[in-house]
Structure 1
Amino acid sequence: MEQINMHQHEESQDDNHGMAVAKYMDPKIYKAAKAGDISGFERAIEDREASPFNQVSPQEDTVLHIAAYSGHVVLVELILTHRIDLFFKKNSNGNLPIHAAAISGHLSIVKSLLGFPQRDSEEWRVSVLREVNKNEETALHVALKNRHKEVAAFLFNLCPRVSSYPNKERKSPLYMAAKAGYLDLVKLMTAETVQVVVMDNSMLSSETRSVVHAALRGRNIDVLEAILKKEPKLVYLKDEDGTTALSYAILVGFLEGVRYLLEKFSVTLYQRDGSGNFPIHVASSEGHIDVIRQILLRCPDAMELLGEQGQNILHVAAKNGKAGVVNYILKTLDLGKLLNEIDEKGNTPLHLAAINGHTMTVHALTWNKRVNSNLRNNDGITARDAAEEKMEAEFSMAKRISWLILQSSTAPKAIKPKSREESPDTKKYRNNMVNTLLLVSILVTTVTFAAGFTLPGGYRISYPHEGMATLVTKPSFQMFLISNNIALYSSIIAAVNLFWAQFGDTKLVNSALNLSGLLLGVSLIMMSVSFMTGVHLVVSDVYWLANIVLAMGLVSLVILLSRSVPLFPWIVQLLLYLPPRLMQLITKWYDGHQKKF
């Protein structure tokens, strides 16, 4: 088989001259161009059969591209002296040599290329600076893209209009400069460009990304002020996603920019974004209490604004689980009308918090007396019903706890909720849950049954206590035996209970899952206690080892209990019920005590 050499001759057509490119660039020529080796390059020029001017690299870079990338001014001028036409030769990315110099940030090369005597005219420079690569980027674009501020400033001064040209990503050089925080360059661009460009609306069209958003993204308040002082209309532009300037400032967390926009352009508070929400809704979804406070301070009626699906700011906070915003609204008496408002689907904020399983939000709303938990949505269900439906359809610890919170309060179930047909996915999920719990219960039964007959310490062999447990008088053994028996019987009852779930009745399945989950929680906890006390018993003669075993077991038991608490509704109800009631009693006692004096 013939071996292929990377540098073998390849025939291709030169786009500009109609001449054949002999081969990929000779390594010696490539090294000479990259190193700026003038003498080596001049020797290569003398070889007419392998002229360096007709050779390109694998990415179709000419020797002029390589010299420009590398920053060798003398070599660039030498090449242009012999072949000025290489100036217009593009590589595989569509980059001219001027692009190459701008990418590398070599200002001296840029000046040399644009000031070469044979092409020294204003019209020629402008035409070159308007040339774009495959990403529709001019030399000014690539200079800013690579953070070469001096090169960008030089190129802009030669052709100011280019600063408004959008590339393939719809980013103009002005956008890039604003995002990078180049204040001086932004001032130059806005001074020269806005006057010319705003007249034909190219900066106010959807063809370019908003420079205001770029300044907000760059978190530079000086750049933002410079842009808006020159052209205030830009503040009303939206980005490609339909996000307004104020909403965008909130989203990126640029609070200084938020304050500036609120002070200078408060009317933007009433500007909807692409999803139909107002900036105050965005602040609510992001949990920015300070921003909400500032908005309401300037425009109190902003509390009445309804966004997507007719939702107020409390709806949005509850849906996104922003407990801080919810608590702020609950504590602010002027915002009381928001607590029980409904959206287009009839959902209150409590409904949305319950549906999405945000436990802290559900707790805050449930235990507030002004929140009406009796309200039903358009489907005829209460918040408690909504939480129960979500919990049954998809097992989630957060959704289960949310349901328990509502159950532990006075939140009612609907008397006649609309019937809902169970989806095939829900049925499949229930069956999988039943099978999984059944398998676990059988495994626990097997393990605890075996442990009951392989007692730590063994059995006595002497009469009259033959066959009795050797360590039966030890407290640790007694704890081992009791906990093991509880684990065994709980898992057996859970297994038998789950057999009934195989009949397919929905109510029976729900009942079986709830009871079996509780019993398996008990059995797993008791099995852990059994193992801990058993191991502690057999190593009790080694004091330090016995303490380590006990400590490890207790830590694991605490973790297990914390994860198992949601399986015991009465514990959750007690934990949720006592703190608010205790605070009420303390408050009443304190108020009565104060009146006496």
Structure 2
Amino acid sequence: MSKDAIPDGMFMCSELYIAALEGRKEEVAGLLSGSSPTTTAAKNGRLPPASRANGTSIYLPNTVHFGRSCTTREVTADRSTLLHIAGGHGHCDLITELCHWDTALLSSTNSSLDTPLHCAARNGHAGAVQAIVRLARSCGEEEGRVRELLGGKNEAGDTALHVAARHGHGETVEVLMKLAPELASEVNGVAVSPLYLAVISRSVRAVEAIVGYRDASAVGPMSQNALHAAVLQSSEMVSLLLRWQPSLVNDLDHNKSSPLHFASSDGDCSIIEEILTHAPSSSAYLQDSEGLSALHVAAKMGNKPAVQLLLQFYPASAGIRDNHGRSFLHAAALQGHSSIVSQVIKNRMLENLLNQQDREGNTALHLAVEAGEYGVVSKLLSSGKVQVHLMNNAGYTPSDLIEKSTGFYSMVRLVLKLYVYGAQFRPQRQDLIEKWSGQDLVKWRLETSKNLAIVSTLVATVAFSAAFNVPGSYGSDGKANLNGNRMYNAFLVLDTIAVTTAVMATILLVHGRASRSNKSWLGFIISMHFLWLSLFSMMLGFFTAIAATGDKKSTSIALYRLIYLGLYILIMLLTSLAMPGSFRGVLRLLFGRQRNRLKRRIKRQYPFVVVYAFNMILFIVINNIALASVDTIGNLRR
């Protein structure tokens, strides 16, 4: 063991640790010299005092070296010395005092190989950093030893500059850059530069200090550079880095992504514009390992302003294709970004992309249909510029790809939309067409029947109970007091309808769940209409009961208007959510005489589409009748 090595087991006594922690220079010096009052008390057999946080004193036993003076070589549990503690807390006077006692403390390391300089830099104590370096020089250390101290690395390979930059201490970074600017070219154990760490910490001051050195390194993890990180932080740091080293724009990470790829994925147009202004034109044409350009990435993320900006600077970049031969329109269509699709449709220079096929022969419409992106499909078809009959390399038209839809509602909407625009299916024998099986409808119907049966039973129970707890109660003769009242009679009719339809819905649902036959689908659909009618009747019955027993006409009118408005909003909301397309399109599918061959083809593969469309029309008719009933009852009351 060298003479400067710290012996194992020389743990720091409590009073010395607390004094160093709080920066009490005189007390530390007294403990080290053995002339401290606490040491004298220990020699006389008394317990040495230690200060509490509130300034009061307590007495703690010195179990390490009871009865003798402390030394500078004592360490904490992580083998930190007194100078580590003083540097970490920025006690400059104590640092000076300790170095007078033992200059070897300057180069001492703890269990993480941190020097006192690391501790001072980690906590942003710029004065402590300066004091340590100044003392190292004043102690007669050679300049090489001082440089070695400044460039010393801990267990993670971090220098003091790495540590200060990692924690975003701009002032400390400035001090270290003045003392040893060459540290900015060093990388740590995972090949990360101080500049990259400063960017991650969002310290503009630290970044500005480091880029003042021309040969500073900008490397980061996964082959990234500082600009890759800066585009996700702030435009100010991006400007600093681009002015310092514009060539950072063309550096690629392990996925061959440039900083412009990163900026396009985030969508901050100010940063994208900053890069495009300083970068060479080739940066907009760089492609990652999948062949995606920055324009592809912006379209994939649905960043419309970013797409517009990239096309404004480099319109020819619209022709870039990825490894699958797909343009940025394909990327937008696949992700369902209809705003990007609308932008392409409106731009005459980009019309050629609408029917452009990738290496598998898929157009943007193929990909949108396969992904179930109804909004994109609607935009493309309504433009009138898309050819709906194009086949891909596998021989599939966009209509054929509907069979890959996994959701029932998505399938219905796509079938109806493509039917309205006259889309074609691939030629095939009609007896070999398989019915759509994208969703297990039987399992869904059984589970839904169970839940609806519970609801219909509850509705029937409530409506049945209301018949024997009539509004206005009963007279002494056992008859209803409101017998003959128009509102009361309406209540009886509506309550009867509610009970009857709820019971019928329950019977149909239970029978359908028990039989599990194909014909049970008809019962299931009818039961849903019955249940909806029952709920409507019960709500209207509630209104008539209130109106029959209310004294004030104004209250009844207000209640009527509230119920009517609520029902109207509910019906409109349900209709808009459940309608698979335009009302006109549904009518054309059901009653149109054109495209009969296409309609027959749809019925063979997607039989539920026509059934669903018919029930939507029935649903709208029933709801309009119900609203008319509410209006009629309201007029009767008025």
Which segment is superposed worse, 361-370 or 544-553?
Answer: 544-553
Mapped partners of 2:398, 2:106: distance in 1: 71
Mapped partners of 1:92, 1:420: distance in 2: 70
- Normalising by the residue count of structure 2, what TM-score does the alignment of the two structures yield? 0.73
Which segment is superposed worse, 322-331 or 413-422?
Answer: 413-422
Is 1:263 paired with 2:311? no
The answer on whether the counterparts of 2:267 and 2:298 sit within 8 Å (CA) in structure 1 is no
Identity rate of aligned residues, in percent? 22
Rate the CA distance shift 1:189–1:557 in 2: closer, same or farther, 3 A: same
Match of 1:28 among 15, 20, 44: 15
Deviation at 1:488, TM superposition (A): 4.5
Is 1:282 paired with 2:294? no
Which segment is superposed worse, 176-185 or 140-149?
Answer: 176-185
Deviation at 1:74, TM superposition (A): 1.3
Rate the CA distance shift 1:470–1:277 in 2: closer, same or farther, 3 A: farther
Rate the CA distance shift 1:432–1:556 in 2: closer, same or farther, 3 A: farther
Deviation at 1:65, TM superposition (A): 1.7
Question: After superposition, what is the alpha-carbon deviation per residue over 1:295-326, rounded to whole angstroms, capped at 9, x for unaligned?
Answer: 33443332221125221121111112212111
Rate the CA distance shift 1:67–1:434 in 2: closer, same or farther, 3 A: same
Is 1:235 paired with 2:249? yes
Mapped partners of 2:149, 2:490: distance in 1: 93
Which segment is superposed worse, 135-144 or 453-462?
Answer: 453-462
Deviation at 1:134, TM superposition (A): 3.3
The answer on whether the counterparts of 1:166 and 1:208 sit within 8 Å (CA) in structure 2 is no
What is aligned with 1:410?
A: 422
Question: After superposition, what is the alpha-carbon deviation per residue over 1:141-184, rounded to whole angstroms, capped at 9, x for unaligned?
Answer: 12122222121012122222321333356431122345567667
Question: After superposition, what is the alpha-carbon deviation per residue over 1:445-482, rounded to whole angstroms, capped at 9, x for unaligned?
Answer: 4334445644435589999999xx98896334434443
Question: After superposition, what is the alpha-carbon deviation per residue over 1:6-47, rounded to whole angstroms, capped at 9, x for unaligned?
Answer: xxxxxxx99972612244x43322221121112321232225
Match of 2:536 among 529, 533, 550: 529
Is 1:124 paired with 2:145? yes
Rate the CA distance shift 1:22–1:422 in 2: closer, same or farther, 3 A: farther
Mapped partners of 1:557, 1:453: distance in 2: 26
The answer on whether the counterparts of 1:99 and 1:139 sit within 8 Å (CA) in structure 2 is yes
Which segment is superposed worse, 314-323 or 205-214?
Answer: 205-214
Mapped partners of 2:494, 2:69: distance in 1: 93
Is 1:37 paired with 2:35? no
* 3-state DSSP of counterpart to 2:187: coil
| 1:491-506 → structure 2 map (5 Å cutoff) | 492-493=507-508, 496-497=511-512, 502=516
* 3-state DSSP of counterpart to 2:213: helix
1:236 maps to a residue whose letter is N
The answer on whether the counterparts of 2:263 and 2:272 sit within 8 Å (CA) in structure 1 is yes
Question: After superposition, what is the alpha-carbon deviation per residue over 1:319-372, rounded to whole angstroms, capped at 9, x for unaligned?
Answer: 122121111111122211111222233332123223333332222122221112
Rate the CA distance shift 1:308–1:27 in 2: closer, same or farther, 3 A: farther
What is aligned with 2:173?
A: 152
Rate the CA distance shift 1:53–1:204 in 2: closer, same or farther, 3 A: closer
Rate the CA distance shift 1:552–1:104 in 2: closer, same or farther, 3 A: farther
What is aligned with 2:127?
A: 108
| 1:544-555 → structure 2 map (5 Å cutoff) | 544=555, 551=562, 555=566
Mapped partners of 1:54, 1:306: distance in 2: 66
Is 1:71 paired with 2:90? yes
RMSD: 4.0
* 3-state DSSP of counterpart to 2:231: helix
1:73 maps to a residue whose letter is C
Which segment is superposed worse, 279-288 or 519-528?
Answer: 519-528
Is 1:343 paired with 2:352? no
1:256 maps to a residue whose letter is S
What is aligned with 2:5?
A: 17
Rate the CA distance shift 1:532–1:358 in 2: closer, same or farther, 3 A: same
What is aligned with 2:631?
A: none
| 1:292-371 → structure 2 map (5 Å cutoff) | 292-371=307-386
Rate the CA distance shift 1:421–1:326 in 2: closer, same or farther, 3 A: same
2:275 maps to a residue whose letter is L
The answer on whether the counterparts of 1:319 and 1:356 sit within 8 Å (CA) in structure 2 is yes
Deviation at 1:206, TM superposition (A): 7.2
* 3-state DSSP of counterpart to 2:119: helix
Deviation at 1:255, TM superposition (A): 1.5
* 3-state DSSP of counterpart to 1:109: helix
1:36 maps to a residue whose letter is G
Mapped partners of 2:284, 2:512: distance in 1: 58
Mapped partners of 2:448, 2:399: distance in 1: 26
Rate the CA distance shift 1:40–1:333 in 2: closer, same or farther, 3 A: same
Mapped partners of 2:79, 2:334: distance in 1: 55
Mapped partners of 1:253, 1:28: distance in 2: 57
2:7 maps to a residue whose letter is M
| 1:240-255 → structure 2 map (5 Å cutoff) | 240-255=254-269
In the alignment, structure 1 segments of 5+ residues that lack a partner are 1-12, 579-597
Which segment is superposed worse, 42-51 or 138-147?
Answer: 42-51
Mapped partners of 1:382, 1:113: distance in 2: 75
1:358 maps to a residue whose letter is E
Deviation at 1:271, TM superposition (A): 0.3
Which has the larger Rg?
2
2:163 maps to a residue whose letter is V
* 3-state DSSP of counterpart to 1:99: helix
Mapped partners of 1:512, 1:299: distance in 2: 60
Question: After superposition, what is the alpha-carbon deviation per residue over 1:515-549, rounded to whole angstroms, capped at 9, x for unaligned?
Answer: 67754653453343233223333333246599569
Match of 2:446 among 430, 435, 438: 435
What is aligned with 1:539?
A: 546
* 3-state DSSP of counterpart to 2:467: coil
Deviation at 1:50, TM superposition (A): 6.2
- Normalising by the residue count of structure 1, what TM-score does the alignment of the two structures yield? 0.77
2:8 maps to a residue whose letter is A
Mapped partners of 2:123, 2:478: distance in 1: 97
2:115 maps to a residue whose letter is L
Number of aligned residues: 541
Deviation at 1:402, TM superposition (A): 4.5
Question: After superposition, what is the alpha-carbon deviation per residue over 1:420-453, rounded to whole angstroms, capped at 9, x for unaligned?
Answer: 8999xx77x5454133122124324433444564
The answer on whether the counterparts of 2:365 and 2:380 sit within 8 Å (CA) in structure 1 is yes
In the alignment, structure 2 segments of 5+ residues that lack a partner are 40-64, 588-638
Mapped partners of 1:536, 1:19: distance in 2: 90
Rate the CA distance shift 1:551–1:15 in 2: closer, same or farther, 3 A: farther
Is 1:163 paired with 2:177? no
